[in-house]
Amino acid sequence: MIRHRGKNFLSAAGRIHASAFLMAVAFLFLFIFFLFYKNPGPLRFFFWILLPLSVSSILYGYLLIYRLAVQIRVLRQKTGHAAAGEEINCADLRVDSELFEIGCYFNDLCKQIEKLNRKNQQQATQLMVYARDLALSYQRSKREEQLRNRLSRYVGNNLVEKLINLKEGVFLETERRNVTVLFADIRSFTTIAERMAAEEVVAMLNEYFSVMVDIIFKNSGLLDKFVGDQLIAVFGLVETDGNAPANAIRTAIEIQAATDAMRRRRMGAGLEYFELGIGVNTGTAIIGNIGSANRMDYTVIGDCVNVAARLEQMARGGEIIIGEQTYLANTENFAFECRGRVNVKNKLEPVVCYHVLRS
């Protein structure tokens, strides 16, 4: 809001008009004076009076113009300060009304520009924050996508999201945990492979592993590794619905059923077929990245893993042998047959094992 100064009875335009009028009158008086001052008569004295009046008019007009110039110079200084960021105090502007309004307008304009600058800075800051958050979100989504791709080779889609949502780094830390380990191995594989071309062996193993891995993933297991024709899976690494030993036993039963179906299909096609021996054991194991600086595997090691491998070696084609801890921790109604205490390689004490009966 512009506040008009009522104390200035002359405006800038009024000063210009007044000075122009006084100059014109002064020149008129001088013209009349120089035209008639030598003529005698009663008006001669009057003409001599015109001379100081003309000079006075010129001086006064000059003063009016000079004062206006001073006010313009003051206004220029004030607006220069305002352009540098200082605020114009309109109450300190001792200028005519038009110049006063110009100064106030300029002051308001500077305030509006400053307000817009602050707003632009705030928006620029917000945009920088948004851009940073967007970049972080993109990087996070890329890392999650890469992690999904890696995990999908070891676990099923039902576990991938749970693993990603775990506290960062927890899944890859080395730790001691209670797990259930499953070993599955093709019986007489060397003999079978000798009767087949290498390409046929690879095709048979790929068909076999594809079916078995799907079964493991379906039952919330983690694929540890392939060792030739042997398959190793781990259950209980991630909190899931169900019981890890029960999931492992169910997986073994379904793998044997799938192997039977594959054997019948290959027999009908006149191809080589095979049988599996499966060993399952539950216990404490060390889980983590194990290997060298150049190559590491996320795997499990421990006595329970070794016992599971020995149980698998004991199982004949089509059999599933489980350890005592797996039997005791199982929560589902499977049929078992106790094999009693048996001696296994590299164990001082015999172990109790059970044969899972398949209906």
Task: With beta carbons less than 8 A apart as the criterion, state whether 280 and 182 touch.
Answer: yes
- pLDDT (0 to 100) of residue 91: 47
What is the chain's length? Answer: 359
Question: What predicted TM-score, i.e. pTM, was given to this entire model?
Answer: 0.58
Task: With beta carbons less than 8 A apart as the criterion, state whether 178 and 236 touch.
Answer: yes
- % of the chain exceeding 70 in pLDDT: 61
Evaluate if residue 67 carries a pLDDT over 90: no
Mean pLDDT is lowest, of 9-13, 202-206, 231-235, 268-272, for 9-13
- Which range has highest mean pLDDT (115-119, 185-189, 340-344)? 185-189
Evaluate if residue 41 carries a pLDDT over 60: no
Task: With beta carbons less than 8 A apart as the criterion, state whether 78 and 88 touch.
Answer: yes
- Which range has highest mean pLDDT (10-14, 43-47, 226-230)? 226-230
Evaluate if residue 258 carries a pLDDT over 90: yes
For residues 41, 43, 45, 49, the Cα torsion angle rounded to the nearest 10 degrees is -150
Full set of structural domains in the chain with CATH: 1-151 (no CATH), 169-357 (3.30.70.1230)
CA distance 340 to 85: 94
64 falls in which pLDDT band (50, 70, 90)? low
